Structure 1
Amino acid sequence: MIAFVFNLLLAIAWAAVSGSASLHNLLLGFVLGAAVLSVVREPFGGSGYLRRFRLVLSLALLFLRELALSASAVALTVLRPKMRIQPGIFAFPLTVDRDFEITLLANLITLTPGTLSVDVSDDRKTLYVHALDCSDPKVARKAIAEGFERKIMEAFR
């Protein structure tokens, strides 16, 4: 987190020195600040910061991909004359154990069309998910575990 603050300060300093506070110039300052932090990584943790940035970006791209795929799947399901769906709730065993990670996973699942996080067990080891088509819960569990949950663990641990 401290590296991100330093990166923002370097971007603002770049805008001040160059005399232009345009969005393009601030983005250039942010990129230059990230490059500086990667060179001076020891005292400010620049290496870990850039690695984490890449992993969070990878998680965001995965979410956008899943969003597009599930939105099209739900649209096709709704447009079919006969809806061959089996809605249901399944239990997803959690590997993530921090509150932030559980909340992020539940929100990513809820924001994806066709699925909804319903509840978390009291011991925080199970997430209950409602799916528009729950005909094969094993496939849904595997997709969540190998997708969102794995990327969250990579990015925030």
Structure 2
Amino acid sequence: MKLFLPGLLFTIVWLAISGSFTIPNLVFGIVVAALSLSMVRHQWSESSTYWRRVPAILFLALLFLKELALSAWTVARLVLTPKMELKPGIFAYPLKLDTDFEITLLANLITLTPGTLSVDVSEDRSKLYVHALDCSDVEATKRSIADGFERRIMEAFRK
């Protein structure tokens, strides 16, 4: 029962991202959410921390939706500009996260955000390589990831 709320949240996010609100897609979202949560159920092993994590997980989901909308708008504006002055590139983002779950979640959130794509993780798991549509200000992008997704992931999934 502890995983019901995260499962519901994952399913809602799936429906929103896929844009298909059909019964088969709902069932698929539920199955994927259940499988995903079964892989990380150890994160919710202590019931005392579960209810503390719920608001942090909701804030992470809201941050993702905000970043999704903002970056979609930015990418659309860049693409529709008559003279596209883009500086695409790959940069190394220094990770503060250390578990496979946290790194994977960050990489997926970055990839799901338009204009960015997680490419690889260094062998020592200290860096995440990110491709960005516009690398004109890499330091600002790194700060945005650190102050946004990475901080919210740590708040939500660390004890």
Number of equivalent positions: 118
Q: Does 1:103 align with 2:104?
A: yes
CA drift of 1:150 comes to 0.3
Aligned to 1:4: 2
Alignment RMSD: 1.7
SS in 2 for 1:117: strand
- Quickly say closer, same or farther: Cα 1:96–1:76, change in 2 above 3 A: same
Aligned to 1:20: none
Cα distance in 2 between the residues matched to 1:103 and 1:70: 20
Cα distance in 2 between the residues matched to 1:131 and 1:65: 18
Q: Deviations over 1:18-73 (max 9, x none)?
A: xxxxxxxxxxxxxxxxxxxxxxxxxx83x522221111010000000000000000
Q: Which residue identity does 2:122 align to in structure 1?
A: S
Q: TM-score, normalised by structure 2?
A: 0.71
% identity of equivalent residues: 68
Aligned to 1:91: 92
Gaps of 5+ in 2: 6-45
Larger CA Rg, structure 1 vs 2: 1
Aligned ranges 1:1-150 → 2 under 5 Å: 4=2, 45=47, 48-150=49-151
SS in 2 for 1:135: coil
Aligned to 1:24: none
Q: Deviations over 1:66-99 (max 9, x none)?
A: 0000000000011110101100001000000000
Q: Which residue identity does 1:91 align to in structure 2?
A: A
